[in-house]
C-alpha cells in the first residue's frame, strides 16, 4: 500500500508539473498576442520603437541589428531607439556606428525618459542617428572611447574617436565643437530649465556635477547639440513628421529623405528585448552575476552532500551557468575568480571532514579577498563591500550552521537504520582493505573488517556487528559452515 501511494503521488506530481508547463506556455502565448494587439493600434505609417537600457554589450548589439533588419523588412518609416546607457562593454564603437549609418530605415534616438544619459558608446549611438532628441533632465557627452571594462585609452585611440564623432556631427549637422570637446575633455551637456543640474540626472563615470554644462531645451537645440527636446516617445513620433534626413547606404551614396509620420494615425510598434536576451543582458551586471555564481555554487554543493540529484542540483546548474555567462561578458580578474572557487572548495572540504577549523578560516579569507577583487574595472562595475560582507557571512553560516545541522540529522537517521541491521549477514561488494562496501538489507554501506582478516574479497559473506562513530559498519567474516541467509 505504501509503495502504491508513493507511485501514485509521484505520478500526480508529474501530472501537475506537466499542467504547469502547459499553463505557462498558454499564458506566454496570450501575453504575446495581447502585446502584438497593443502594438498594432493603428493602420497608418509603421514606426518601430526599441529600448536600450544599461550597458551596451553584445546582446544589445544583436538586438539592435535584428531591430534594424525587421524595420527594413516590414517597411517601417522610422526606427526610434529609446536610449539610456553609461557606455559600452566589449563592443567596438565602429560596429554600432556602421549599423545605424548604413540602415535603409531612418533611425531616431531619444535619450529618455528624464534622468537618462548617453555617455561613452551611448554618445556615438546618439550622434550616428539620423535624428537626435533628448528628454528634460538628461545628460549627453563624455564620449572618451573608454570601454567600461578597460580604462586605458591611447592617444591614437582618442584621436581616432574624436575624428569619428566629429565626422558624425558634420554628417548630421550637429555641433562639431561639442563633439570634439566630448571626446577630448569629456564634456557633458545636461538639459534642464533650472539654474542647477536636476537631481535625477545621471552622470557618466568619472564626471563631477560641477563639470556639466546645463542648457535649456531651447539652448540645446539652438546650439545644435541635439535636434529637439521631447518629454515622451509619442512627442518624438509627432516631431518626426516632415523632417528631412540624410541617408547613407552601404555603398557610400547619400541622399535626402523626408519623413512622413502622422502621429494620430501612426502604427507605433514596440519591439521588446525578448525573454532570453533580456535575461542575458540582465546577468551582464557585476552584482547579479556574482550572486548567481555564489548561490548556484551553494546549491550544487548542497546537492553533493545529499543522496541523489534533485531540484537543488538542477537549479544550481542553471544559476551557475547564468553567472558564468555574466562573468564571460564582464571584465573579470580570473585570479580573483580562482580565489572565490578555492574559498568555496575549502569551506566544503572542512564540512566534509567535520572539523570546521583552519580550512573554514582559510576559505572565508579566500572568498572575501576574491570577491572584493573579482571586478577590477571602474567604480560602477565593482562590488559593494557591504554586498561582499553579506554574501560571505551567509556562505559561512550556510556551511557552519545549516549544512552541519542537515548532515547531523542525516547521520542520526543513518545510525538508527544501522542499528536495525546489526547481526544480519551481507555480501562484500568492494574489497575490504580494511574498509570497503557491503550490501545488506537492500542497501550499500561502507564497512570495515578486522585488521586480522586482511583483504576481504568481493563476494565474501560478512556479519554486521554494529556501527562506529564514523557511520561505518563493523563486520566479521562468516564461517563457511554458517548457513544464515543474506539479510
Contact between 316 and 347 (Cβ < 8 Å): no
Hey, how many other C-beta atoms are within 10 angstroms of the C-beta on 195?
6
Question: How confident is the model at residue 10, as a pLDDT?
Answer: 38
Identify the pLDDT of residue 21.
42
Terminal-residue alpha carbon distance, the chain: 23
Residues ≥6 apart with Cβ < 8 Å to 83: 52, 109, 110, 111, 112, 116, 118, 122, 125, 126
Whether the ω angle into residue 382 lies within 30 degrees of 0, i.e. cis, is: no
pLDDT for res 231 = 93
pLDDT in the model for residue 370: 93
Cβ atoms of 484 and 425 within 8 Å: the answer is yes
Q: DSSP of 175-212, one letter per residue?
A: -HHHHHHHHHT--EEEE-SSSS--TT----TT--GGGE
For 31, 131, 147, 228, 311, the CA distances from 169, given in Å and listed in that order, are 41, 11, 21, 15, 55
What average pLDDT values come out for the chain (487 residues) when binned by 10 residues?
Answer: 36 44 47 44 78 88 92 94 88 88 94 91 93 93 67 73 92 93 86 70 68 87 94 93 83 80 86 76 83 91 69 85 84 90 90 76 92 80 89 91 72 58 85 84 78 86 78 80 59
| Helix and strand numbers, DSSP H then E, in the chain | 15, 17
Res 252: pLDDT? 64
Query: Any bridge partners for residue 271, and if so which?
Result: 50
Grid cell, residue 356, equals 570546521
DSSP 205: T
Asked if 127 and 170 touch (Cβ cutoff 8 Å), the reply is no
Pairing of strands 107-111, 228-229: unpaired
Predicted TM-score (pTM) of the model is 0.65
Q: Is the dihedral of CA 343, 345, 347, 350 positive or negative?
A: negative
Question: How many angstroms separate the CA atoms of 228 and 250, rounded?
Answer: 28
Amino acid at each position: 500500500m505504501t509503495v502504491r501511494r508513493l507511485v501514485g503521488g509521484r505520478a500526480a506530481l508529474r501530472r501537475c508539473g506537466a499542467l504547469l508547463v502547459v499553463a505557462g506556455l498558454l499564458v506566454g502565448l496570450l501575453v504575446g498576442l495581447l502585446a502584438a494587439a497593443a502594438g498594432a493600434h493603428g493602420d497608418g505609417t509603421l514606426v518601430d520603437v526599441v529600448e536600450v537600457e544599461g550597458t551596451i554589450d553584445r546582446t544589445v548589439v544583436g538586438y539592435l541589428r535584428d531591430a534594424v533588419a525587421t524595420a527594413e523588412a516590414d517597411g517601417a518609416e522610422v526606427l526610434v531607439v529609446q536610449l539610456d546607457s553609461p557606455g559600452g562593454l566589449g563592443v567596438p564603437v565602429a560596429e554600432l556606428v556602421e549599423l545605424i549609418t548604413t540602415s535603409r530605415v531612418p533611425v531616431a534616438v531619444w535619450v529618455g525618459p528624464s534622468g537618462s544619459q548617453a555617455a561613452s558608446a551611448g554618445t556615438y549611438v546618439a550622434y550616428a542617428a539620423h535624428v537626435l532628441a533628448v528628454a528634460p533632465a538628461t545628460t549627453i557627452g563624455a564620449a572618451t572611447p573608454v570601454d567600461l571594462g578597460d580604462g586605458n585609452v591611447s592617444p591614437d585611440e582618442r584621436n581616432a574617436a574624436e575624428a569619428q564623432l566629429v565626422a558624425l556631427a558634420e554628417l548630421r549637422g550637429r555641433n562639431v565643437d561639442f563633439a570634439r570637446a566630448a571626446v577630448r575633455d569629456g564634456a557633458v551637456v545636461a538639459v534642464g530649465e533650472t539654474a542647477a543640474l536636476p537631481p535625477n540626472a545621471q552622470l557618466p563615470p568619472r564626471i563631477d556635477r560641477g563639470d556639466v554644462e546645463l542648457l535649456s531645451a531651447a539652448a540645446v537645440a539652438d546650439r545644435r547639440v541635439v535636434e529637439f527636446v521631447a518629454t515622451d516617445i509619442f512627442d518624438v513620433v509627432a516631431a518626426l513628421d516632415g523632417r528631412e534626413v540624410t541617408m547613407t547606404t552601404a555603398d557610400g551614396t547619400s541622399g535626402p529623405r523626408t519623413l512622413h509620420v502622422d502621429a494620430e494615425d501612426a502604427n507605433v510598434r514596440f519591439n521588446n528585448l525578448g525573454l532570453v536576451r533580456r535575461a542575458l543582458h540582465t546577468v551582464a551586471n557585476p552584482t547579479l552575476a556574482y550572486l548567481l555564481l555564489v548561490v548556484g555554487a551553494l546549491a550544487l554543493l548542497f546537492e553533493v552532500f545529499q543522496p541523489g540529484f534533485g531540484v537543488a542540483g538542477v537549479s544550481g546548474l542553471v544559476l551557475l551557468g547564468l553567472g558564468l555567462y555574466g562573468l564571460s561578458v564582464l571584465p573579470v580578474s580570473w585570479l580573483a575568480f580562482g580565489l572565490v572557487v578555492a574559498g568555496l572548495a575549502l569551506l566544503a572540504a572542512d564540512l566534509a571532514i567535520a572539523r570546521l577549523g583552519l580550512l573554514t578560516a582559510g576559505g572565508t579569507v579566500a572568498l572575501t579577498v576574491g570577491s572584493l577583487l573579482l571586478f577590477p574595472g571602474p567604480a560602477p562595475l565593482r562590488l559593494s563591500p557591504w554586498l561582499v560582507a553579506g554574501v560571505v557571512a551567509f556562505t559561512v553560516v550556510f556551511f557552519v550552521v545549516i549544512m552541519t545541522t542537515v548532515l547531523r540529522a542525516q547521520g542520526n537517521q543513518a545510525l538508527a537504520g544501522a542499528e536495525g541491521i546489526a547481526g544480519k549477514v551481507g555480501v562484500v561488494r568492494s574489497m575490504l582493505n580494511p574498509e570497503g562496501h557491503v550490501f545488506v538489507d537492500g542497501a550499500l554501506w561502507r564497512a570495515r573488517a578486522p585488521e586480522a582478516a586482511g583483504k576481504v574479497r568481493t563476494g565474501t559473506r560478512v556479519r554486521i556487528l554494529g556501527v562506529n562513530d564514523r557511520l561505518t559498519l563493523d563486520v566479521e567474516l562468516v564461517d563457511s559452515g554458517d548457513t544464515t541467509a543474506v539479510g
